[in-house]
Chain A
Amino acid sequence: DTGVSQDPRHKITKRGQNVTFRCDPISEHNRLYWYRQTLGQGPEFLTYFQNEAQLEKSRLLSDRFSAERPKGSFSTLEIQRTEQGDSAMYLCASSDAQTGELFFGEGSRLTVL
C-alpha cells in the first residue's frame, strides 16, 4: 500500500501523559500536513512541512505540541501533558508541490481520560 500511513490508529491515555503519533507520507510527496478533527467538525490545520522545513504553524498548536520531520520523510507529532480537550482525531496528509492534491491517512484517534 503506497498511501499515507499513521500509527497508532488509537491511543487512550491519562491526562498529563505524553503521546506521540507517527506519519509516513506517500514516498514521492515533499509536503506533509497535520490536521486535527473533532466530532462533527471538519479537519483543522495544525502545521505543515516542505521536506524537513516546518513552514507554518497554526495558533491551535500550543506550546505542548511539537512536530518534526527530521529527514524529510516520516513525521512525528508529540503532545506533552495531555489535556481532555486534546481528545480528537489527528490526521496526516501529504502532497507533491506540483499538483497540490492532499491525500489523507486514516488518522490517529486520541482519547484523554
Chain B
Amino acid sequence: GENVEQHPSTLSVQEGDSAVIKCTYSDSASNYFPWYKQELGKGPQLIIDIRSNVGEKKDQRIAVTLNKTAKHFSLHITETQPEDSAVYFCAAALREYGNKLVFGAGTILRVKS
C-alpha cells in the first residue's frame, strides 16, 4: 500500500521568511496530493491540492510542487505570518479508489514574530 513520509517534523522560521515542507510517496499510481493545516483542537483544513497532471499550483502565499518521477511533492509558504503556525500534513491518494488519503506524520510550523 501507499506510504507517505514527511520532513521536517518541526520547522521554525522568522516572520516574513519562507517555509518549505517536503513529502515523498511510494505508490506511483497515486494521483492526488492535498495539503492540510491543523490547528490545536481542530480538524484538518484543506489548504491546497495538486493532481498528477500538473507540476505546480499556487494560491496567494501558498504553492505546491509535484515531481512524479521522483515521487515527491512540496509545500511552499512565502511571507510567513504568526497565524501560519500550525501542524501541516501532506497526503496522497488514488482518486479512482474513493480518495482514501494516506497522510504523512505532520510538520509543526512555528512562525516567530
Interface residues of A (CB under 8 A from B): 4, 31, 33, 35, 40-45, 48, 50, 55-56, 91, 95, 100-107
Number of A-B contacts (CB under 8 A): 58
Task: Specify which chain A residues have a CB less than 8 angstroms from the CB of B105 in the assembled complex.
Answer: 40-42
Q: Chain B CB within 10 Å — which of A42, A95, A101, A104 has the most?
A: A42
Checking A35, A56, A100, A105 against B95 with a beta-carbon cut-off of 8 angstroms, the contacting residue is A100
Write the nearest CB–CB distance from B11 to chain A, whole angstroms.
Answer: 15
27 CB-based A-B contacts, threshold 8 Å: A31-B98, A31-B99, A33-B100, A35-B101, A41-B105, A42-B91, A42-B104, A42-B106, A43-B44, A43-B103, A44-B103, A45-B100, A45-B101, A45-B102, A48-B100, A50-B98, A56-B97, A91-B43, A95-B99, A100-B93, A102-B101, A104-B43, A104-B44, A104-B45, A104-B46, A105-B43, A106-B43
Interface residues on B, range: 20 to 34
When chains A and B are docked, how far (Å) is the Cα of A107 from the Cα of B46? 15
Give the secondary structure class of A's interface: strand
The verdict on A41 contacting B99 (CB below 8 Å), with A100-B32, A106-B43 known, is no
In the complex, the answer to whether B103 meets A102 with C-beta atoms within 8 Å is no
In the complex, the answer to whether A48 meets B46 with C-beta atoms within 8 Å is no
In the complex, the answer to whether B46 meets A102 with C-beta atoms within 8 Å is yes
Write the nearest CB–CB distance from B102 to chain A, whole angstroms.
Answer: 7
In the complex, the answer to whether B43 meets A40 with C-beta atoms within 8 Å is no
